[in-house]
Structure 1
Amino acid sequence: MRKSCIPNIFTFINLSCGVLSILSVMYDRIDFASIFILIAGLVDRYDGRVARFLNVSSDLGKELDSLADLVSFGVAPSILIYILFEFTNLGPKGSIGIILLLLFPICGAFRLARYNTSDFDGVFTGIPITIAGCLLALFALFNLKAQSPIYIAIILMLTFSYLMISNFKLKKL
């Protein structure tokens, strides 16, 4: 195996966790769905680091990482919260719930595209989608036994969506 493939393995594990999270929601395993998102977050920390360590960073790897991140930290957490908090009942025929379901990954996609097309100087503009998605997964985990009011979930979805596309500055750790 070429060493340039090694970072992509981490990216594909990230993507697989995102897909498994969505599948877990379909089987009403909110606990597994949340954990898969958190595992994706751990794995996502290392693909870029491994690529830089092996000196095999590439535009392809950067794009693959963003696609995996959109699934694992945009689509999967949005579906997780939508189902857990029964957003299907929000608004006429669930229309408000659908808007919330779509808004989070749309803002995440914008955030990723903005990051990919700008020069990174060690300071993020807007919170990274990884942070937003993992925080929603943690919120879901904490709501397995005693569920928070639905308005808390709505506020978090709206707040994280906004923070991803905002000009808020966050230094990389």
Structure 2
Amino acid sequence: MSTWGGEFLKRCALEGDRQEGEGCELLSGTHASACAPGLFCKGWCGRPCQPEVPGSCPEGFFCPREGGPDGPSCLPSCEARGCPPGQACIRFSEGASVCAVVHGTNCQQSPCPEAHVCETRTLPDRAGTVWMRCEAPCSNNGVSCPEGSFCRSRRCVRACHPDSPGTCGPGEKCEPLHDSTRWACVFDHEV
């Protein structure tokens, strides 16, 4: 973990059930989303490695140059080997890539319109599944969103109403927000 000044700090981490190459939560509060003993979490569970030592990662993994306070750890990569039918090789930060079933629009294969970003979401307990869509960035202090949407967490989200089915796209559902005054199209993690 890094501080505002950029220094790295060591931290205690919960040992969990996630195996090498599986998604994880960096500061997980549950065993189900934390890495097994001997593995580090950098978004994906991986063993420690050395970039200058070929073979320090198993086949299907690579060792990144940057590592943080614990040093680098092996990250999964499907770009050279490809994926089974029905799955796509999805790229993530730090160069990691995994085979996954895509719910929504695969905006890595079909790029987003100008001024939009490709939002990609995974859940540690749903290995091999990813939710994707294009979203326009916004600011809660005045940058407006297109008609029919509003700014939430610095992204324009589509407004919806539970009595109007079909408002949300594939891989999405209409849900009330925490304040219960507005409804928005959110990723449907139950598909």
The two structures have a TM-score, normalised by structure 1, of: 0.24
**As a proportion of its length, which structure holds more strand?**
2
The two structures have a TM-score, normalised by structure 2, of: 0.23
